[in-house]
Structure 1
Amino acid sequence: MMACNDQDARLVTLLRVGRLYAPEPREEVDMLIADGRIAALGRDLAVPEGWPVRLVEARDLTAVPAFIDQHVHVTGGGGEGGCVTRCPEITAAEIAAMGIGTVVGVLGTDSISRSPADLLAKVRGLRAEGIAAYMYTGAYRVPPPTLTGDVQRDLAWIPEVIGLGELAISDHRSSQPRQDEIERLVSEVRAGAMLAGKRGICHFHVGDGDRGLEPLRRLLSETEIPADQVIPTHVNRHRELLDEAADYARTFGASIDLTAFEDPGEEGLSAFDAVAVLLERGVPRERITISSDCNGSLPEFDAQGGYVGMRVARNTTLIADWQRLVREEILPLEHALDLIAGNVARVLGLQAHKGRLAVGFDADVTLLDSELQPRRTFVAGRCVYSEG
């Protein structure tokens, strides 16, 4: 297999694979990439002689849409145990090696030593390295920290900002926002997103507090806010919350985001187990997404809320849980892909150009081997990862 070589990157790439899932299985196994987008799909595609074409032969691999991770602490999370517990930043190489082509950066508990400006700088750095990177303005706390001093202006004037998050509810680390504050913030995001032509989601961190999803249930029941504006995450942190999330998704036709916990603990469920439970409970797979929470902190607290220790989340579990869904036949490959590609693109409002392998879409392609392991990742036609 050819190694990534940016010096050899040309305007046109002809990619030849063994199988192609768009995510549905397709007969076409040749892909012509031009100016960062998919220009043609077919068999035995040819390019006129003399064109500056890079040929990539990968007949032993399967092409799928590059994965999308909507919850990444790209600047590092943590800090709950003091400055020494700040998590490290993630690198473009660590992202691309997992077959991930698009990430959304978040701030968490710490929006003091880290800021939306730091996050924007990191997002732009990842973009320069080939990753399709976006960000949420805000953080756990209310009122949310912003780039321009106003949530609507952030959405309207900063291209990389696609929503607000991760706003914390039902968690002792949150600002304990009142219901009217939550409603006002979501309304502000909706208005700003409309002005910017974006989806403008509100990405809610849900802790293990007794209130669970009640603030979001009230939001959707008592206001005109549409369900696709609100995405709760970490809903598999314990069984009662997952049960509530299943009812929430069915009642409101809402999407819910699972976290690929490396160690879900005694009360939590892995993303693999949580998907199986949600499907059994009648939640449409179109309403389920999985994210990594990588480079965020996994803090441990005692019964009084005191900090006792911390680990750093990785994105490897996201891929491992997804692979297991296919291997253990919980979902076929084409349906499992939606949980980390197509569904995520729709949730984020990126479905017009990401999450599928189709003519006119961004050439974000992951090549998998027979064990479903990413071997090569392209973003906008640029090779950003190649094993070996």
Structure 2
Amino acid sequence: MITLLRVGRIHAPEPLAATDILIADGRIAALGRDLAIPAGWPMKVLEYGDLTAVPAFIDQHVHVTGGGGEGGCGTRCSEIEAADIAAMGIGTVVGVLGTDSVSRSPADVLAKVRGLRAEGIAAYMYTGAYRVPPPTLTGDLQRDLAWIPEVIGLGEIAISDHRSSQPQAHEIARLVSEVRVGAMLAGKRGICHFHLGDGARGLEPLRRLLRDTEIPADQVIPTHVNRRHALLEEAAAFSLEFGATVDVTAFDDCPGEHEFSAFNAVSRLLARGVPADRITMSSDCNGSLPVFDGEGHYAGMRIAGNTALLSDWQRLVRESVLPMEQALGLISGHVARVLGLEARKGRLAAGFDADIALLDDELQPRHTFVAGRRIDPERRAARPA
């Protein structure tokens, strides 16, 4: 079946004159106006003349099997569902383990990723977790990257956090180099996704890595860099010094005006001179937001969602912090480049995956297509009785 989407406007991310998107075999076959195909060919026409088509969003940090556990087994977070992903205009996610790699494993993440794929979401994963040495699927980082198609990197390795394994410089260098070679063998980017905690060392472990080794800056992505003012300032300096990309978390417990919101973090990074194409945003969805007292004791937690990712991005556009075509990069094109998926995702163009979010005039997603298939945001995965 060939599908023809007729929309009001297209941002590819740059605005196009085209208003038609022709989809075949899960990819975009053509864009234009008044597109037609030979009579008799099977085609479904979908009319969305009041909506704007943009590349479906990419969330590179999702606890697909649920995070948590810092307060015991009763504090484990729930899994995410495909419908909750698509409702935010997100077409691609990368699954990640966090603190708990004891009751959960990379195998659990892989099973969930494959389940999401079966429901229509483009899902990938990082092997590993907070701790070093990281848990793997095959017993070896290079084999995970080489033999498991869904594995696109390592993460989230925790640094500058009381929950981390306190990895030393030589351990971090060894992990990143292992991932780099494994990714080369597999034809992948093979990034290392680093969780930044509240620790005073901040980004120093990654600065040391890039200064003392031959590892390129695009191999490492620090996330949660907007936890505190000093860390955000350090992230700006880190990006400018090494030409590195930094990932801002749309913390679900930060309203739009909160000093650590993704909106304020992106605005501050731009003001410090960080190029927009070196900034990405992610949600930390279904991860835990634990609270610890002054002595490091667990004091409670909330579960992260993905609504702030959308609302903070919308505000960046509405308040003209960035024009639409640049703002889209924060949650689509730049993320695709970081993950090594830029040849098929993050853009609306012939040959690219037909991953499309249709937005209304308020920038609210109304429909999400992944590989040309519409994901129904009202549908929920079947649960056993």
* Cα offset, 1:387, TM superposition: 7.1
| Counterparts of residues 187-198 of structure 1 (less than 5 Å) | 187-198=177-188
* Deviation at residue 49 of structure 1 after TM alignment: 1.7
Q: What's 2:342 paired with?
A: 351
Aligned residues: 378
The structural deviation recorded for 1:340 is 0.1
Shift of 1:386: 5.6
Q: Which residue of 1 aligns with 2:91?
A: 101
Cα separation, 2, equivalents of 1:307 and 1:113: 18
Supply the distance in 1 between the matched residues of 2:70 and 2:48 (Cα, whole angstroms).
Answer: 46
Residue pair 1:375, 1:387 contacting (<8 A) in 2 also: no
| Distance in 1 between residues matched to 2:259 and 2:206, nearest whole Å | 21
Matching residue's letter, 1:329: S
Distance, in Å, in 2 between the alignment partners of 1:54 and 1:16 is 11
C-alpha deviations, 1:49-102, integer Å up to 9, x for none? 211111110000000000000000000000000000000000000000000000
TM-score (norm 1): 0.96
- 1:83 is matched with 73
CA shift, 1:26, in A, is 0.3
Q: Does 1:113 align with 2:103?
A: yes
**Is the aligned partner of 1:47 residue 2:37?**
yes
Does 1:315 find its partner at 2:278? no
Residues of 2 paired with 1:375 and 1:387: CA distance? 11
Q: Which residue of structure 2 aligns with residue 286 of structure 1?
A: 277
Matched AA of 1:330: V
Distance 1:94 1:39 in 2: 28
Tell me if the contact between 2:84 and 2:377 (Cα under 8 Å) persists in the aligned partners: no
- Listed as ranges, the gaps of 5+ residues in structure 2 are 380-385
Q: Is the 8 A contact 2:128 2:154 kept in 1?
A: yes
Partner of 1:373: 364
Structure 1, unpaired ranges of 5+: 1-10
The residue type paired with residue 317 of structure 1 is A
Q: 2: distance between equivalents of 1:335 and 1:268?
A: 23
Q: Deviations over 1:99-147 (max 9, x none)?
A: 0000000000000000000000000000000000000000000000000
Write the mapping of 1:129-208 to structure 2, written as runs, cut at 5 A: 129-208=119-198
Identity, % of aligned positions? 77
**8 Å Cα contact 1:377/1:383 also seen in 2:** yes
Deviations 1:130-182 (A, max 9, x none): 00000000000000000000000000000000000000000000000011000
User: What whole-Å deviation, never above 9, does each CA across 1:227-253 have from its counterpart, x for those lacking one?
Assistant: 000000000000000000000000000
Letter in 2 for 1:15: L
**Deviation of 1:277 (Å):** 0.3
Counterpart Cα distance in 2 of 1:385 and 1:350:
24
Q: Residue 132 of structure 1 aligns to which amino acid in structure 2?
A: A
Amino acid at match of 2:351: G
Note the aligned Cα RMSD (angstroms).
Answer: 1.3
Match of 1:302 in 2: 293
Structure 1 residues 333-344: aligned runs within 5 Å: 333-344=324-335
- The aligned residue for residue 383 of structure 2 is none
